[in-house]
Amino acid sequence: MYLLAEAADAAAHAPPGWVTALFGGLLLCMVVALALEEKLHAKKSVITGIGAIVCLLAGQALDVLPEGPALLQGHELHLPIYVAAIDWEVIAIILGASLFVDVTSKSGIFTWIAVKLTKLSRGDPRRLLWFYGALTVAFSAFLNNVTAMIIVGSLTAVSLKRLKLQGKLLGFLFVEGLMTNVGGLLTLISSVPNIIVGNAAGISFGRFFLVASPYVLLATVASIYLGQRVFQVAPLADDEARAAAAAQVDAFDENDGIRSRRFFNLAAGMFVLFILGLALQSQLPLVGGEHGLGMGFVALAFAAGMLLLYKHEVDKFYAAVDWDLLAFFGCLFVVIFVMEHAAVLSTMGQGLAWLLDRGENLGVVLLLWSAAGLSSVTDNIPLSAMLAKILPQGRELTASSMEWWAVIFGANLGGNLTPIGSASTVVAVTIMAKQGVPVTFVRFVRLAVPFAGLQLALASGYVLLVKALIT
Amino acid sequence: MRLDQYESRFKRAAKSVFEYAPVPFETVLLVTDAEGQDAEAELERARAFLQPLGSTEGVRWVALRGDQYHTSHELVALVSQHKPDLLITHRSLKEADKDPIYSLGTYLDVLTQVAPVPVLVLPSGSLPQALKRVMVVTDHITGDSRLINYGAALLGEGGDLFLTHIEDEGTFERYLGVISKLPSLDTETARRDILEQLLKEPREFMESVQKALAVPGAPQVEVEPIVRLGRSVRDYRELVEARQVDLLVFNTKDSAQLAMHGMAYSLAVELKRVPLLLL
């Protein structure tokens, strides 16, 4: 992010208390509006956009915003404050990764993997639950949570209908919805909170994976096992049923969506290179290091490479980009920037300090559960963006500090507590309703509490274990 | 939107596959208006036509003579008593006009509606010596294994089984006409994609028929798929003539109705010179 010339002196002219309270109220209004997004029938970008406009006008009127040019490595840049306030690295990662995944998916590779796995299950419900659960985790880790839920959820609806297992559809979709947020913990690019917090903490892709992967494995096994028990997903009883189910899944053609074998192979190769590129980015010449081009550049470069295959119709892919999400991020960064200068974040930081002062270990666990609780009722993106800003205030944190991980685990797993806790659980609930197995808010929470409780308990223990091992 | 796209991809990948199942024939019942020796001769004529079924051991061949029933109620009761696996009859039973225009006759009309078994309608005049070329006709062949199993079961070893699926051009154009008035849908894309999918499904199903009938134990017949967009009755008539078809097999009812559906009735009344198996 750019430095603003006056930003360093922000503490010097801290705004009066009533100004901080006013901006705190504005922030609260925006957060509530985001939580009620569905009720308001307004997209996130519109809500945060209005929030950003109001905050900027109020900030300007009350002399909260810093003045002067933006500084980029000592060079002055004349950028509007609402441009300089945005973390463009995060935007570049999201834009590049989503474009890359969108073009790659045209090759049919993701549907191929999903159908192949369905056939490997031989149509056995219990095996199918484990396979789909694991597939959701893998897709969430390397694509994004929403795409993973869309792919696995729609395949689940089609395959269970074919296997005449519609009675198990709710259980399958529910488990998959929860697994998206577990898989979303696996890599730095798996979810937006990871990107925001990881970026702020300076955690590399490789380190993120090394720390997160044992927990993801543990939580995946525990959650699917619990799902199997809660939703009574039993294996097929006899040979006749097994043969009939196998015949049904054998009729799936995994090659149906592949229009060009060459493109399919190329996409598979590029996907592996993309993951490797992100994993090794910090070590690569030109892109790695403090002054390197960064991970956003890697994501955008791979997207541009794949778009070359569709060079005459790139506009279709541009149209498919989730502009609402990108505009939401842009506006959110602006709001947080204003809040920072209105001393709202430092005030919130005092509350956070109280939490962390409860004890070295208890403080981290309380932070994790608090982040989860807040994430369950509001969007985890503004939450993680604010916590990423607040956390380092007055503390000596490094990339190894477990406070970062408490926020990452809490912000991701908190989405599993309610149907509005994360974008992927919203998609899961949408698929349930579309397939004729709607769940109410209360029923979802009742079903989700044992799963989320288990995942958060495991995460608490895991964070403390890693903390003990590091220190 | 993306949710629907992926669901469509998986639905596309979930193919309908032909399932071969032998058709059991224990009792074949001929319903005729002939009496005495004429009825027996007619039964022999049908047996000769239906080779190899005609010479299969263990099949009971029964003739229901014209003097055994006088109303459609009596006929239906007698048919129920015999519990046949196949009914053989002809048009205009007990009617003076043996070559009616656009009519099946009262008795056959009733049989096609109430008989729970396939009805083979023989034309008046001479019959082929044996079944060599059978054409299975439908405008929704995908998933219709029963129709094909009957066609294959009656066909002799090495015979030709034509699987035909004609997607009605009139209906297709009518929907395209509506789409052309909707700004949210691109007409050319819709024309290309809908037509491709409409013809892809029957083609794939027919490929699965070829595979299933190529295994040992299945009827060894030559399968020729015919899939295209056209005008149903006119095109079927042309195909029947061009392929010199000995037997035409088609569905007459769907699950939602008792009476013959539109295309089946048109084929049944128009193709009077060809034996028809109505399922």
Q: What is the ipTM of this complex?
A: 0.74
Q: Which domain holds residue A224?
A: 90-320
A113 contact B CB<8A: no
- From the list B9, B15, B17, the residue facing A111 with the nearest CB is B9
CATH number for the region B19-129 comes to 3.40.50
Confidence of residue A8 (pLDDT cuts 50, 70, 90): very low
Please tell me the predicted confidence (pLDDT) of residue A347.
Answer: 81
- Tell me whether residue A287 is in a domain: yes
Beta carbons of A149 and A271 less than 8 angstroms apart: no
Q: For residue B137, what are its two tokens?
A: 């006709």
A428 neighbourhood in chain B, CB within 8 Å: none
Residue A12 has pLDDT above 70, yes or no: no
Residue A346's φ and ψ, nearest 5 degrees, are: -70, -35
The percent of residues above 90 in pLDDT, for chain A, comes to 37
With H, G, I as helix, E, B as strand and everything else as coil, classify residue A3.
strand
Contact between B13 and A151 using a beta-carbon 8 Å cutoff: no
Residue of chain A minimizing CA distance to B16: A251
Q: State the average pLDDT over residues A202-227.
A: 94
A38 contact B CB<8A: no
- Tell me whether residue A182 is in a domain: yes
Residues of B in CB contact (< 8 Å) with A are 2-3, 6-7, 9-17
Q: What is the pLDDT of residues B81-104, one digit of tens each?
A: 989 999 999 887 777 776 777 777
How crowded is the C-beta side of A136, counted as CA atoms within 13 Å? 33
Contact between A251 and B2 using a beta-carbon 8 Å cutoff: no
Please tell me the predicted confidence (pLDDT) of residue A2.
Answer: 53
Residue A102 has pLDDT above 90, yes or no: no
Q: What is the pLDDT of residues A333-384, one digit of tens each?
A: 899 889 888 888 778 777 777 877 888 889 899 999 988 988 887 777 878 8
Q: For residue A58, what are its two tokens?
A: 């109020």
CA B190 to chain centre: 31
- Tell me whether residue A98 is in a domain: yes
Please tell me the predicted confidence (pLDDT) of residue A217.
Answer: 97
Would you say how long chain B is, in residues? 279
Q: State the average pLDDT over residues B216-226.
A: 90
Q: For residue A331, what are its two tokens?
A: 């506006």
Please tell me the predicted confidence (pLDDT) of residue B272.
Answer: 79
Beta carbons of A375 and A415 less than 8 angstroms apart: yes
One fold for both B19-129 and B131-274?
Answer: yes
Beta carbons of B105 and B75 less than 8 angstroms apart: no
* Among the ranges given (A238-242, A285-289, B33-37), the one the predictor scored with the smallest mean pLDDT: A285-289
A115 neighbourhood in chain B, CB within 8 Å: 10, 13
Q: With residue A47 as reference, give the H or E element that holds it.
A: helix A44-61
Using alpha carbons, select from A471, A468, A463 the residue that is nearest to residue A211.
Answer: A463
Contact between A162 and B14 using a beta-carbon 8 Å cutoff: yes
Q: With residue A383 as reference, give the H or E element that holds it.
A: helix A380-390
The Cα of A369 is separated from the nearest Cα of chain B by a number of Å equal to 32
Please tell me the predicted confidence (pLDDT) of residue A3.
Answer: 53
Beta carbons of A428 and A174 less than 8 angstroms apart: yes
Q: State the average pLDDT over residues B236-251.
A: 90
Q: Which residue has the higher pLDDT, A395 or B196?
A: B196
Please tell me the predicted confidence (pLDDT) of residue A11.
Answer: 47
Which conformational region is residue B158 in: left (phi greater than 0), alpha (psi within -120 to 50 degrees), or beta? left
What whole-number distance in Å separates Cα of residue A387 and Cα of residue B68? Answer: 93
Give the total number of structural domains in chain A: 1
Contact between B12 and A256 using a beta-carbon 8 Å cutoff: yes
Pick the CATH number of B131-274 from 3.40.140.80, 3.40.50.460, 3.40.50.620, 3.90.79.10: 3.40.50.620
Please tell me the predicted confidence (pLDDT) of residue A394.
Answer: 73
Q: Which residue has the higher pLDDT, B228 or A395?
A: B228
What whole-number distance in Å separates Cα of residue A426 and Cα of residue A415? Answer: 10
Residue of chain B minimizing CA distance to A321: B2
Q: What is the pLDDT of residues A260-273, one digit of tens each?
A: 888 899 999 998 99
Domain residue ranges of chain B, discontinuous segments joined by +: 19-129, 131-274
Q: Which residue has the higher pLDDT, A179 or A81?
A: A179
A427 contact B CB<8A: yes
Query: What rounded mean pLDDT belongs to chain B?
Result: 86
- Tell me whether residue A422 is in a domain: no
Confidence of residue B222 (pLDDT cuts 50, 70, 90): very high
- Tell me whether residue A96 is in a domain: yes
Please tell me the predicted confidence (pLDDT) of residue A384.
Answer: 86
Angle between helices A423-434 and A169-183 (to 10 degrees): 170
* Among the ranges given (A273-287, B92-106, B121-135, B138-152), the one the predictor scored with the smallest mean pLDDT: B92-106
Please tell me the predicted confidence (pLDDT) of residue B258.
Answer: 58
What whole-number distance in Å separates Cα of residue A387 and Cα of residue A197? Answer: 8
Q: State the average pLDDT over residues B105-118.
A: 83
Beta carbons of A436 and A170 less than 8 angstroms apart: no
Please tell me the predicted confidence (pLDDT) of residue A222.
Answer: 97
Mutate to test the interface with A, among B5, B10, B205 (most CBs of A within 10 A): B10
Beta carbons of A136 and A179 less than 8 angstroms apart: yes
Number of A/B CB contacts below 8 angstroms equals: 52
Per-residue exposure over A283-304, b if at least 16 CB sit within 10 Å of its own CB, e if not: eeeebbeeebbbbbbbbbbbbe
Q: State the average pLDDT over residues B34-53.
A: 87
Angle between helices A344-356 and A17-35 (to 10 degrees): 80
What whole-number distance in Å separates Cα of residue A47 and Cα of residue A42? Answer: 7
CA B52 to chain centre: 19
Please tell me the predicted confidence (pLDDT) of residue B257.
Answer: 56
A434 contact B CB<8A: yes
- Tell me whether residue A374 is in a domain: no
A151 neighbourhood in chain B, CB within 8 Å: 6
Q: What is the 3-state secondary structure (H, E, C) of chain B?
A: CHHHHHHHHHHHHECCCCCCCCCCCCEEEEECCCCHHHHHHHHHHHHHHCCCHHHCCCCEEEEECHHHCCCHHHHHHHHHHHCCCEEEEECCCCCCCCCCCCCCCHHHHHHHHHCCCCEEEECCCCCCCCCCEEEEEECCCCCCHHHHHHHHHHCCCCCEEEEEEEEEHHHHHHHHHHHCCCCCCCHHHHHHHHHHHHHHHHHHHHHHHHHHHCCCCCCCCEEEEEEEEECHHHHHHHHHHHHCCCEEEECCCCCCCCCCCHHHHHHHHHCCCCCEEEC
In chain A, the N- to C-terminal Cα span, in Å, equals 31
Could you tell me which residues come within 8 angstroms of residue A53 by beta carbon, excluding any fewer than 6 positions away? none
CA geometry: angle B89, B92, B96, nearest 5 deg = 135
Contact between A111 and B15 using a beta-carbon 8 Å cutoff: no
Q: State the average pLDDT over residues B268-278.
A: 84
Could you tell me which residues come within 8 angstroms of residue A181 by beta carbon, excluding any fewer than 6 positions away? A140, A145, A191, A412, A413, A415, A416, A421, A422, A424, A425
Query: What rounded mean pLDDT belongs to chain A?
Result: 86
B197 neighbourhood in chain A, CB within 8 Å: none
Beta carbons of B25 and B54 less than 8 angstroms apart: no
Please tell me the predicted confidence (pLDDT) of residue B260.
Answer: 65
The Cα of A158 is separated from the nearest Cα of chain B by a number of Å equal to 6
Please tell me the predicted confidence (pLDDT) of residue B255.
Answer: 58
Q: What is the pLDDT of residues A250-304, one digit of tens each?
A: 888 988 888 888 889 999 999 899 888 877 777 788 877 777 788 889 889 999 9
Whole-Å CA distances, A319 to A16, A98, A314, A322, B186: 45, 12, 9, 8, 16
- Does residue A15 have a cis bond before it (omega within 30 degrees)? no
Q: What is the pLDDT of residues A42-98, one digit of tens each?
A: 888 899 899 999 999 999 898 888 876 677 667 777 788 888 888 888 788 888 988
The identity of residue B52, as a single letter, is: P
- From the list A115, A430, A431, the residue facing B13 with the nearest CB is A115
Residue of chain A minimizing CA distance to B200: A256
Q: State the average pLDDT over residues A431-447.
A: 89
CA A356 to chain centre: 25
Would you say how long chain A is, in residues? 471
Could you tell me which residues come within 8 angstroms of residue B165 by beta carbon, excluding any fewer than 6 positions away? B138, B139, B140, B141, B199, B202, B206, B225, B226, B227, B228
Burial of B161 (0-12, 13-18, 19+ CB in 10 A): buried
Q: Which residues pair with B226 in a beta bridge?
A: B164
Q: What is the pLDDT of residues A44-57, one digit of tens each?
A: 889 989 999 999 99
Confidence of residue A461 (pLDDT cuts 50, 70, 90): very high
Confidence of residue B180 (pLDDT cuts 50, 70, 90): very high
A70-72 and A3-4 strand pairing: antiparallel
Residue of chain B minimizing CA distance to A163: B14
Confidence of residue B256 (pLDDT cuts 50, 70, 90): low
Please tell me the predicted confidence (pLDDT) of residue B9.
Answer: 87
Confidence of residue B112 (pLDDT cuts 50, 70, 90): confident
